[in-house]
Amino acid sequence: MAGPFKLRDHQQKALAKMHNGCILCGGTGSGKSVTSLAYYFKGCGGQVIPTIGKMKNPKDLYVITTARKRDSGEWLGDMSHFLISPYEECTPYKMKVVIDSWNNIKKYDEVTNSFFIFDEQRVVGYGSWTKSFLKIAKNNEWILLSATPGDTYSDYMPVFIANGFYKNKTEFTREHCVYSRYSKFPQIERYINTGRLNRLRRIVLVDMPYEKPAEQHHFDIFCDYDKLAYKELCRTRFNIDTGEPIENASEFCYELRKICNSDISRINFVLDMHKKVDRIIIFYNFDYELEALLNAPYDDGVVVAQWNGHIHEEVPRKCSRWIYLVQYAAGAEAWNCILTDTMIFYSQNYSYKMTTQAAGRIDRLTTPYSDLNYYHLKSKSGIDLAISKSLSEKKKFNETKFDKMGFA
């Protein structure tokens, strides 16, 4: 027997509904990893309810996850409940167990008769990862895990194809996609036959709702910004950094945001908050924000660590007072921290999905806190308010639309 571990009620309910080719959809911290392993274990003849028994027909197991999760050993902890391990000396079973990152998915294109768990769902669009996923799905059993499974119907297309609902991308687009006639590049204007898409989505999604141990509290903190510089940029559309005219909507929005995000009032809020709270996680977007945060006059003894595309430092867990600076793009998923109840979003991210994932880093089943506090720093500028509106509607902010509408 593998010890006293038991699935929680919400995990048992999800397990009963899971099937090959499904997306297990649970909020961050809901225990998707251990539930997916329970599904694999059960499929191999193992007992999982009420407690963990022995697996009768082991099958090779492949977990495709993020590089950070692979390297942190997070999956090893969940596997230990079932006496599963990539290391022969740590398991009584003889099957192969592989934990690898999405970057290496192509290595497993030729694997057959195995079981794949695709963690932190990455199969959107029709790039190389998706093509490898479709090859693997054709010859193996598989499930996907996601806290935020998809923003559009097209996000589900690879999963629909892998389940045999459509032959290929061509069939999906022919039956459901209407493209804009005026866009310079292929852009879906609307979807048709959405009734079928909704039915298929209900088939593949297995929701795992659960009652969280902690309640999230979100606070909008309105900071100052240089209104004159903002208005001048809108009037001239001239990049003061390069000395050249602004060429496109992306550059225009970047410069507007830089004016707002660089205001000293944001750093002042961080410093004031850290006098009240010893341990804070701060999410940011841009390198100039990181520079300001690193150079802030923190109290003596405060440890500042960072995780971004350049530097990978872990949370300074052994220190009593710390600031952990995380770039959205590099660290919105695949790590957890239950040592603090406070998170600051130094600037807004365009993606509702990424913002939700970032918030979930401290919202775990094992958190000792009953209340979690999130502070969203923003200004009352046109662009910040427009980003906030998109996020409140659970949409991704569209720079081109913002520029054309003249809301700046």
The CATH number covering residue 164 comes to 3.40.50.10810
Q: Does 2 map to a domain?
A: no
Same domain, 32 and 156: yes
Same domain, 255 and 176: no
The residue-averaged pLDDT of 92-104 equals 94
Same domain, 120 and 177: yes
User: What confidence tier does 406 reach under pLDDT thresholds 50, 70, 90?
Assistant: confident
For residues 226 and 61, what is the distance between their CA atoms, to the nearest angstrom?
55
pLDDT at 1: 37
Q: Classify 156 as helix, strand or coil.
A: helix
Domain boundary among 207, 236, 253: 207
For the record, the structure tokens of 210 come out as 């659960």
Q: Does 54 map to a domain?
A: yes
Domains: count for the chain:
2
pLDDT at 4: 61
Per-residue pLDDT of 375-386, as tens digits, reads 999 999 999 999
Per-residue pLDDT of 46-77, as tens digits, reads 988 777 888 999 999 999 998 888 988 889 98
Length of the chain: 408
For residues 248 and 287, what is the distance between their CA atoms, to the nearest angstrom?
21
For the record, the structure tokens of 234 come out as 């809108």
Q: What is the mean pLDDT of the chain?
A: 92
Same domain, 352 and 378: yes
pLDDT at 364: 86
Same domain, 200 and 224: no
The residue-averaged pLDDT of 129-137 equals 95
Same domain, 396 and 260: yes
For the record, the structure tokens of 31 come out as 């225990």
pTM: 0.70
Same domain, 223 and 310: yes
Q: Does 3 map to a domain?
A: no
Q: What is the CATH number of the domain that holds 355?
A: 3.40.50.300
- Sheet with 371-378: list strands edge to edge: 215-222, 371-378, 342-345, 279-284, 322-327, 303-307
- Is residue 43 classed exposed, middle or buried when 0-12, 13-18 and 19+ CB atoms within 10 A define those classes? middle
For residue 322, the cross-strand partners are: 279, 303
User: What confidence tier does 2 reach under pLDDT thresholds 50, 70, 90?
Assistant: very low
Lowest average pLDDT, out of 16-30, 176-190, 213-227, 278-292, goes to 176-190
Same domain, 183 and 311: no
The residue-averaged pLDDT of 146-168 equals 90
Per-residue pLDDT of 232-250, as tens digits, reads 999 999 998 888 999 999 9
Say if residue 316's pLDDT is above 90: yes
> 38 with 13: CB under 8 angstroms?
no
Domain around 280: 215-405
Domain boundary among 172, 207, 242: 207
Higher-scoring residue by pLDDT: 401, 122: 401
Domain boundary among 207, 234, 249: 207
pLDDT at 3: 46
Q: Classify 314 as helix, strand or coil.
A: coil
Same domain, 236 and 126: no
Q: What percent of the chain has pLDDT over 90?
A: 77
Same domain, 63 and 91: yes
State the distance between the two ends of the chain, measured CA to CA, in whole angstroms.
63
